[in-house]
Structures are given as C-alpha cells and as structure tokens.
Amino acid sequence: MEFEVTASRKRPQSLVELSGQDFVVATLKNSIESGRIAHAYLFSGPRGVGKTSSARILARSLNCEEGASITPCGVCSNCKEIARGNSMDVIEIDGASNTGVNDIREIKDEVLFGPGSSRYKIYIIDEVHMLSNSAFNALLKTIEEPPPYIIFIFATTEIHKVPATIRSRCQQFNFRLVELGEIKRLLSNVCEELSVKYDEDALFWIARESTGSVRDAYTLFDQIVSFSEGHITLDKIREKLGLIGMDQLNELMSFLVEEKQDESLELLDGILSGGVSVEQFIIDMAEYLRNILFIFHGVKKESLLGYTEDRFSSSVFENLNSRQIEWALEEVITLFRNIRYSLNPRFELELLISRLSSIRYHIDPKALLEELGRMKAQLGTAPMQAIPGEDLKKKN
Ligand SMILES: [Zn+2]
C-alpha cells in the first residue's frame, strides 16, 4: 500500500538535512569525522525541533555498514532497519512509560552483551527526565563505565529535571526553536515536492503559527493542504480555520480611529456571525496590534510581522501613536486573560470595541505629565500679562 505523501511524514535522513540546528550539526559532524564518539549524548530543547529525529540519524550515522559518516548510505540493512525502527542494536525507550528502576536494570544487564550486527549498541531514551531517581542512579552506574560498544542518546524537553550527575557525563546539545524563515523555506520545499502552489504570506502564516516547531508546522501544513485544492492562500486558511481576515482587521481599525462605534460593532457582529469565535477574535486582534506596534517601533521584518508593512491600514499610522497602540494591545490582552471567567465573553468583547473607539483620545499618564511639564515651562517663561487674573490679584 502506498502512503499519501504528507509533510508530517517527512523526516530528515541525515545530519546535513537537519534544519535550524547548525551548532548541533557542526559539532556532531566533527565528532563523527574525527572518530571521537561520546558514550552518552544528551539532546535537550523544545518539542518538535528534531531531537528524536537527530538521535535516530546519529544512530544511523554511527552504525551504517559503509562506515561511520554524517551521510549514512540509507540503503544498507542497518540504515534501513534503523529507519523502520526495528534494528536489534538501536533500542528506543520512552522514558515517560518506562520510568522505573526495573526497566533500567534490564538495560544494565543487556549492555553486557555486545551489538548483533552493528558497530555500536545504541540506546535512545526519549523524555529521559521522566525517569525516577532510583532509575537515574541505576543508569548512572552504566554510563560511568560503559562497555566500549555502548552509546546512550538521551532526549529531553526539560533539561533541569535531569540530575546534574547524569548531565555532567553526557555530551550535551541544546536544540533551539527553528527560525521562522527556515520553517518557511522547509514548507516551500514540501510545496515543490507535492506540486502545490502557495502564496508567500500563507506559508509565513503557517510558519509563524508553529512557533519554531518543525513538527507543528508540518502537521498544520498537512491540514491546510487538505482543503487548499492545490493552492495555499491566506484567505482559504482564514476562512476554513475560522480566523479574521487582514482586510477585516484593517477595516475595524479604521472605524475605531474614526470613532465610528456603530460601524465597529456591526463589523464585529458580522465577523462573529461568520464563525470566528470570541477567543479567536481577541487573539487575531492582539496579533494585529502587536504588529502595528512593531512597525511603530521601526521593526518591519516580514519574518516577524508575517506580512509586509503595506498590508496594514495607513490610517492607523497617520492618526495614532505607539502609546495608544500599546494601550489598546494591553486592553485586548487583559480581556484575553479575563475572558475565561466571564459569564458572557461576547458582551465583554463588545464593551472593549466600544471603549477602543476612543483610542484617538487616549493619552497615557506619562505623556500627560510631559505635556503638563511643557505647558508649565511655557507659562514660566511667558510675560506676566499673558496670564489673565494675575494682574487682578496684585491689584487686590
Ligand atoms: Zn548504511
């Protein structure tokens, strides 16, 4: 049976294909090429950035029949078995479900026997921080004096929960969140492989939504491809996933700037009737304001905004200042925090929109003080007759 090609089934096959982890790749490459192989590796970092994939790749790199290499052949029986997950010499253990000391004792006994058909016997322990203390202690004995053919590769999202005694005996690698531009590049590669057309801003949106996790990006991408009919666009994403369109946000913002409460509230009603949830509305609005704030502060990188600057309503920049946007964003974020306790989230959102329609008149205390200071200074330097009433006081 042939699987449908999807992005989330894509796995890097060698270290050179691993994205966004340049430091990890360079160090491992160096270690493999110089033959200085550690007996315990510890891969830490956020979820979905390639730790477990890297562990499997490293296992392949070390056990490929063609010799240890950062580009394992991928066709020898060792490479194939590791890829399928059924190599006798590469044992994957989920730390989350094998937390006890007995599981580790088994490893302690097993390591006495060398690998079957490979150079190394490799234990990949995922979520290693889940192991119990006694399990860690049992493990420690083994990694202190491992037989020369044993290699441990630990992976964890919570490095601080791994005892220092274990950490200090491992070569440590800190995996990072993958940059947005890099994720977008990966997605555009997948689009090419699948012959799917795409709009730049649509891929940007997916990349941004995945917040640095390649795995999340691929999962979301697959979902979006399934309804995109061969062409991924932001409009389709927004429609199918129930998000607010950029045009609607711009329109709303223009109404608010012009103090048009009635039109703002009607537009809000239209958007909510269209299937956008109150919560989603707040999230999209917060993101929109955050982007405006960035532009006010001179940050215009498309990879940070997800859009080019010209997609944002110019009336916002002409009529408001950054402090007013800060205030609006704060109001929106506060509402997001409070909404879960609300008896009627929709009413609260309507109240917020009504309040935001006075955004032009919003002045924060600091600006007010500065303005007062300026006025005071002007009065101080102005000639006396400029202040009506003062003359009268003197006469009396
Ligand atoms: Zn091979």
pLDDT for res 396: 47
pLDDT for res 2: 36
77 Cα to the center of ligand 1, angstroms: 7
pLDDT in tens, 269-311: 999 988 889 999 999 999 999 999 999 999 988 777 777 788 8
What domains lie within the chain, and their CATH numbers? 7-174 (3.40.50.300), 180-240 (1.10.8.60), 246-361 (1.20.272.10), 365-395 (no CATH)
Count of other CB atoms within 10 angstroms of residue 29? 16
pLDDT for res 251: 93
Residue whose C-alpha is closest to residue 189's, from 213, 209, 214, 212? 214
pLDDT for res 1: 34
Measured CA to CA, the distance from residue 232 to residue 204 in angstroms comes to: 11
Contacts of 301 (CB under 8 A, 6+ apart): none
Contact 336, 283 (CB under 8 A): yes
290 Cα to the center of ligand 1, angstroms: 49
Burial of 229 (0-12, 13-18, 19+ CB in 10 A): exposed
pLDDT for res 69: 86
Count of other CB atoms within 10 angstroms of residue 140? 14
| Chain mean position to CA 215 | 10
Both tokens assigned to 256 = 């608010």
114 Cα to the center of ligand 1, angstroms: 20
16 Cα to the center of ligand 1, angstroms: 15
Residue whose C-alpha is closest to residue 236's, from 266, 205, 213? 205
357 Cα to the center of ligand 1, angstroms: 65
pTM above 0.85, yes or no: no
204 Cα to the center of ligand 1, angstroms: 36
Ranges of residues in the chain with a pLDDT under 50 are: 1-3, 392, 395-396
Measured CA to CA, the distance from residue 227 to residue 221 in angstroms comes to: 10
Measured CA to CA, the distance from residue 299 to residue 325 in angstroms comes to: 15
Both tokens assigned to 381 = 């330097």
